Homo-oligomer: A and B are copies of this chain.
């Protein structure tokens, strides 16, 4: 029976099942309550007892049972991220930031995707997630799905949200567990001013979906135009987040020779717009200037490299987690979120004297598939 080299208790290891605090207590010669106190760092435990318990835990390979703890506490140390998307850069990066903060605080991170913005799906997701016993909720409310979910959340659950700025300023939500956001409006204003400073008569806007009738970025864009006395063209609102939508819309938009500067809702759309310009025989930035939002990792490598507004989404996620106040209530004052920064690269330039006329050649073969552009394949291509 002396086969493998077990160091202690060779006699009987009947069940390799996990050890409980009572097993640890027995091994350490104390009561289970003392073990519980050691685990929870209660102050009133003698050093001697603490050492014995620690040793016993190590020897038995003790791991606290999360379910048991959650049951007794009536609450799990966990946070569920409610989001409509896992792919888009801003969403994925925010999720990553939440995970980092939660991991540091010893909090588990779960994820629940909102498959659509139908009221039933939203309600089902919110219902599933809003059991206070299974932890807190962070809603990624960058879009309609997210903000609907936010509004549907019952008051009984502890939540926080990363949102568009208009949502954050709504009095009804500005209270209580709280939201965090970037000032999209100011960022859009800055980007628009950059284009106006380059001499463009006005700036056109291709928008991403927003949860409000007038998105924050749209608001800032409009403010800058009005402040400069520039005409305010109609907003181009393709359906959804797809690049195809932006591409198709831009092919229409750029036919107009007055269009020399386009502010896009995000970098993906900007890529679509640049490509549309190319396909129409227009050069970026010589004929048309294009600005994006987000500064995706690929943006510096676009041709031309994209001028865009950088957001630190990871920091946004971390902040959202902090708002939950789960992390041992560290009152260390929070560093303010860095402001979004305009990164000027190659896709913006001086307004052309007279813009080249668009060549109305058909889109390239590979973009002609379903009549609307590329094959709808990814979730965001609705």
Q: Which residues of A contact B (CB under 8 A)?
A: 16, 18, 63, 65-68, 70-71, 76, 78, 86-87, 89, 92-93, 95-96, 99-100, 103, 108-113, 115, 131, 133-134, 156, 242-243, 247, 268, 271-272, 274-275, 278, 297-298, 300-303, 305, 343, 345-346, 364, 366-367, 373-374, 377-381
Contact = CB atoms under 8 A, between A and B. Distances in A.
Contacts of A109: 110-112
Contact of A374 (B67, B76, B108, B300): B300
* Copies of this chain present: 2
A352 B100 CA distance: 49
Given A93-B86, A134-B67, A305-B366, A297 B278 contact: no
Contact of A66 (B86, B133, B373): B133
Contacts of A303: 274-275, 278, 302-303
Contact of A366 (B131, B133, B345): B345
B268 A297 contact: yes
A96 B71 contact: no
A366 B271 contact: no
Q: In terms of DSSP, what is the predominant structure of the interface of chain A?
A: mixed
A362 to B, nearest CB: 15
Nearest to A131: B63
12 contacts: A18-B131, A67-B134, A68-B71, A100-B113, A103-B113, A243-B300, A272-B301, A278-B303, A300-B366, A301-B374, A303-B303, A305-B366
Contacts of A346: 364, 366
A297 B92 contact: no
A95 B86 contact: yes
A109 B86 CA distance: 13
User: Which of A18, A298, A379 is packed against the most chain B CB atoms within 10 Å?
Assistant: A298
